[in-house]
Structure 1
Amino acid sequence: IQQAAAAAGTSPPELCERVSGLFRQALTQAAVSFTDFIRTSEPRHRRAVLHFWGALRDGGALYKGAYEGWYCTPEECFLPESQLAERRDAQGRPCKVSLETGHQVHWTKEENYMFRLSAFREPLGVRRWLRDNPRAVSPEPFYRRVLRWLDEDLPDLSVSRERSRLQWGIPVPGDATQTIYVWVDALVNYLSAAGYPEAHGEWADGFRYFLLRQGVPERDCDYYEEKVVKVVNSELADALGGLLNRSTALSINPSNTYPCFSESCFPKISDYSGEKAAGRASAEDYEFVASVASLPLQVAGCFEGFQIYKALECVALCVRQTNSFFQRHRPWKLDRKDPAEQLWLDTIIHVTLECLRVYGTLLQPVIPHAADKLLSRLAVEPEERGLSSLTFLPRYDGEPCPFEGRQLGPDTGVLFPRLEKSRQHQRETEKL
């Protein structure tokens, strides 16, 4: 930050004020809400850092010692020889760079405060505890990485820098020649946001959906515009949005209500083994209803395990099944003048809207604007949108459905507009 501010001809506080404003703006545009927005330049964070430093010092975890080695400024760390390679700089002079990133390193020697990391390895029994608690670190590849890391020597960690070259930061208490460095500053931010030491406590929806749908926690995800357009259009605009439009169209549902479910058309059976029921529903319909019924618990489990991409994969599969159900029975072909046909038509729409209500509820954390629009169209009130009280197709189990007969909400147009490739991308594709 100090170097970037100098290069921009401004001060670190001014630079941080500008960048922080950009983050706030981006969060607002992406519909990301937060209980707190904290900056490490705030007084409450400074108090937390000073208290934390004092606790480390009083516990004997800090000492002052000479530190030297190859330092990489962009990576903010010292690197051992094993992680370096010989290269030549822009002037053709030999230099050393980081093997992993290619950033140039410089030999640095200075007196810093050191954290006795090595002293915490065995007394805490970290390796033994981790092996006894394999789910303590998730996802699993990171668990294996931590175990490998603990098998290596744990060197003491430099946690301050000379203030003569790093004025931006919190001074070490009682030593004006040193600045507290990032490991005992930025990382304490999680504590200060919780009240430590006093107490503990289109770009938007589409891009957000894509990142969570494609992003795997243990590795990077590939991003390119064509893939974003394809995923968002097929799963949100076409599959989900198209299903809502078709099932609420006045040509299908002229009364614009949440129609009734007919138990005679879709009678309950003991299992989904493929037996033919007396009603109009097929064995495939029973399998599909079972899939949607199990979805809330499935999604909740994936969310708990931070496997959001798996949750969205399950939702997308059920959305496709619902489209197949709707298409299979062709409600637009049914004769409303025939009472039996009208019962079946209403049941098809009721099941479809129930599915959409489940999808809208489950997708609220991922596509908040579109989910709100969908649930509002189905006339689902804000207090009826919680996961804990989500019950799918209660009428199938002989229970009353609070939505049955309810007037649908206003039609505000397309749920999710289809994305178009940028003109620049189209031109490049045409050239190819």
Structure 2
Amino acid sequence: MVLRNVFTVRTLKTAAWTPARVAKGSGFPRSPIRPCASGCTTLSDELHFITTPIFYVNAAPHIGHLYSAVIADYLHRYKLIRGITSKFSTGTDEHGLKIQQAAACAGEDPLTFCTEVSGQFRHLFEKCDISYTDFIRTTDERHRHAVEQFWAVLQRGGHIYKGTYQGWYSTQDESFLTPTQVGDSTDSDGTAIKVSLESGHKVEWMEEKNYMFRLSAFRCALQRWLAETPGAIQPERFRHVVLQWLQDDLPDLSVSRQRGRLQWGVPVPGDPEQTVYVWLDALVNYLTAAGYPEQHPRWWAAARHVIGKDILKFHAIYWPAFLLAAGLPLPRVILVHSHWTVEGQKMSKSRGNVVNPLETSGLLTTDGLRYFLLRQGVPDSDCDFYEDKAVKLVNSELADALGGLLNRCTALSLNPEQVYPRFCATSFPREGAAGVGRRAVPEDYGMLESVEALPGLVAQHYESLQAYKALEAVAACVRHTNGFFQRHTPWKLDRGTPSDRSWLDTILHISLECLRIYGILLQPAVPLLADKLLSRLGVWPEERAWGNLCFLARHRGDACPFEGRALGPETGLFFPRLDRPKASKADSKSRKKTASSKQR
């Protein structure tokens, strides 16, 4: 099956929407999507702009931060190999009362504190091969300029007014809460306190004169947006969560804090006694990366956000309302993922179970950790992390299955010339064709069908934020190819016999073709391993795009550019097996004993 980029690329022309136009029912644009030749769904945009949240620098990065970045990274890389121009922004959120307090506790000025922690995020992303094209810091001058301009637009439009805010506020969440979102609890000393029902963090009653945003005016517009654009929030269950929130009235939102209380932030333009609310400040980072306020339209029309479910309200209610008020297009899609637990428990500093991604990448390798996160992460439900599970998965699917297949196909004993062997149509004729020298069996044709269908299936899953299904499909095909190789025992064939030699070369040719397809498809998820695999096969860098997914051309009677080409140099084991952590082995035995005792 030949896969080509047959879709027409164009720049998306999206009109700016204002509250007035929305009220008149002008509607919202839908993503132009149509099937491509491989049966997958391909966006017909020329540009792709993917973002992660900017990460709060009150503490070092954890595995959840990396998960967001890896999701955005695979989507960015996938678009690039599809031939689409892609921009990928990430960064750090460095303002707010929580940062001001954390810096004070550390005995540092806020900027020094932020620079140190922001550097930790940069280091992690470089270590884990996150290929961002822009790293935003909210302390950057370009971002301050964008925030000031955005505020001015909202104010000129009459969407901001001076008022008195009375209500509950969570410093830990940097979030204002309604009475229905607050409950009773006790602190570690047994003192009665109020907490956020969603996060469990302590809240305090606040009464101060601030600037308010007319959020209440946008409830109907937001409902209409979600009703007319079903794919605006994915997975679907999170769109329903937002629609449920919108069943209730939206109170106006405080978008500033008194400067005497919060000094660390962007001052409100024209009012040095007030500081811009941290979430308004932070959300504008996406526009900053797009080039706001002068050069944003080209990129902003292609914006897609990757976020964790804990910040859904800010991105699916506050942010779209701000954008509508400013007369700007809404994001093309908000892609939401769930959280990681550790052996069934929520990660927290108090439990001491926060997973350090740098340490974990040292254990699993960079691509091993990326593979585990994408292979096991299910966007619409929380996922469990423990090292033993991760080691077993990457050993099984990367070292044994994929690496084992590559090692066997390129072994000197079977391929002494170290070339891409020739395909023999007599040994492996088309299904149903008569032939005296046929050696292929019915199961072999089933394997070919699976590999031919794989690119379309992988594209569908990559596009829909279901990388775990894409990698599962690749792993299944790898197992089928190993079964094909094992079924025909090429090591038993006599290279001195012409018919055996032709059949041996055909087995190797088919297996290497399968590996080439897997290598191209795995590039977004595990770029280093994919490069190692394709380089070993002798596939040149310019032959690794989506348009090169022409599988087994010789089986259709077409020419194969790889046939007879020398393989790339041997660079050692593809993915050496990892040792299981000793503690994990003991824990695994303990879990088995516990399960056994429960059954009895």
Q: Structure 2-normalised TM-score?
A: 0.69
Local SS of the residue matching 2:246: helix
Q: CA deviation at 1:81?
A: 2.8
What is the CA-CA distance between 1:428 and the residue it aligns to? 5.3
* Secondary structure at 2:383 match in 1: coil
For residues 35 and 302 of structure 1, the distance between their equivalents in structure 2, rounded to whole angstroms, comes to 24
User: Does structure 1 residue 307 correspond to structure 2 residue 469?
Assistant: no
Match of 1:144 among 230, 240, 262: 240
**1:245 pairs with 2:397:** no
Deviation at 1:427, TM superposition (A): 5.5
1:384-409 per-position Cα deviation (integer Å, ceiling 9, x unaligned): 01112321111111111000000101
Conserved in 2, the CA contact under 8 Å of 1:269 and 1:277? no
Look up the SS of the partner of 1:135 in the other structure. helix
Q: CA deviation at 1:371?
A: 0.8
Q: Residue 147 of structure 1: CA displacement?
A: 1.7
* Partner in structure 1 of residue 284 of structure 2: 188
* 1:268 Cα deviation from its structure 2 partner: 1.4
Q: Is the 8 A contact 1:276 1:283 kept in 2?
A: no
Deviation for aligned residue 1:337: 1.1
| C-alpha displacement of 1:369 | 1.0
Report the more deviating stretch, 388-397 or 41-50. Answer: 388-397
Contact 2:395 2:577 in 1 (8 A): yes
> Which residue of the partner structure matches residue 536 of structure 2?
377
* Residue pairs, 1:12-91, within 5 angstroms: 12-91=110-189
Aligned to 1:289: 448
What one-letter code is carried by the residue in structure 2 that aligns with 1:329?
H
Q: How do 1:270-289 and structure 2 match up within 5 A?
A: 279-289=438-448
Question: 2:435 and 2:241 mapped to 1: Cα distance?
Answer: 52
Structure-2 separation of matches of 1:364 and 1:389: 13
- Report the equivalent of 2:500: 341
Give the match for residue 228 of structure 1. 390
**1:168 paired to 2:276:** no
Shift of 1:426: 4.1
Q: Displacement, 1:85?
A: 2.5
Bigger Rg, which one: 1
| Distance in 2 (alpha carbons) for counterparts of 1:277 and 1:196 | 69
The CA deviation at 1:92 is 2.9
One-letter code of the match for 1:223?
F
Which of 232, 237, 254 matches 1:158? 254
Q: Secondary structure at the match of 1:306?
A: coil
Tell me, yes or no, if the aligned pair for 2:219 and 2:249 is still in contact at 8 Å.
Answer: no
SS at match of 2:486: helix
Contact 2:136 2:289 in 1 (8 A): yes
8 Å CA contact retained: 1:72, 1:105: yes
1:327 to 464, 471, 486: 486
The 8 Å contact of residues 38 and 193 in structure 1, kept in 2 or not, is answered as yes
| Closer/same/farther in 2, CA of residues 89 and 130 from structure 1, 3 Å limit | closer
One-letter identity of the residue aligned with 2:232: A
Q: CA deviation at 1:294?
A: 1.0
2:192 is aligned with 1:115:
no
Contact 1:171 1:178 in 2 (8 A): yes
**What code does the residue aligned with 1:170 have?**
V
Q: Which amino acid aligns with 1:191?
A: L
SS of equivalent residue, structure 2 residue 465: coil
Residue by residue over 1:169-203, the C-alpha shift from the partner in whole angstroms, topping out at 9 and shown as x without a partner, is 10000111110112221100011011111112343
2:193 to 92, 95, 107: 95
Task: Say which structure is richer in strand.
Answer: 2
Q: Are 1:398 and 2:557 counterparts?
A: yes
The corresponding residue for 1:210 is: 372
User: Match of 1:199, as an amino acid?
Assistant: Q
| Residues 249-264 of structure 1 aligned to structure 2 (within 5 Å) | 249-264=411-426
Deviation at 1:75, TM superposition (A): 1.2
Offset, 1:277: 9.4
Number of positions where the alignment pairs a residue of Structure 1 with one of Structure 2: 427
SS of residue paired to 1:222: strand
Larger deviation: 84-93 or 302-311? Answer: 84-93
Aligned identity (percent) is: 59
- Could you tell me how far 1:86 is from its partner in structure 2? 2.1
C-alpha distance in 2, partners of 1:379/1:128?
53
1:411 aligns with 2:570: yes
| Worse-superposed segment, 90-99 or 32-41 | 90-99
What secondary structure sits across from 1:403 in the alignment? coil
Match of 2:526 in 1: 367
Specify the alignment match of 2:274 in structure 1: 178
C-alpha separation in 2, matches of 1:150 and 1:90 = 35
Q: How many angstroms apart in 2 are the aligned matches of 1:276 and 1:83? A: 73
Instruction: Report the Cα offset of residue 270 of structure 1.
Output: 6.4
Q: Give TM-score, length-normalised by structure 1.
A: 0.95
- The CA distance in 2 between the partners of 1:305 and 1:277, in whole Å, is 46
Coordinate RMSD, CA, aligned: 1.8
**Do the aligned partners of 1:65 and 1:113 also contact (CA within 8 Å) in 2?**
yes
Distance 1:376 1:109 in 2: 63
Structure 2 partner of 1:106: 204
Secondary structure, aligned partner of 1:302: helix
How far apart, CA to CA, are the structure 1 residues paired with 2:436 and 2:382?
A: 48
Distance 1:34 1:97 in 2: 37
1:383: Cα distance to partner? 0.3
Assess, with a 3 A threshold, how the Cα gap between structure 1 residues 223 and 320 changes in structure 2: closer, same or farther: same
Contact 1:276 1:282 in 2 (8 A): no
**What is aligned with 2:57?**
none
Question: Per the alignment, in what secondary structure is the counterpart of residue 350 of structure 1?
Answer: helix
CA change 1:340–1:148 in 2 (3 A) is same
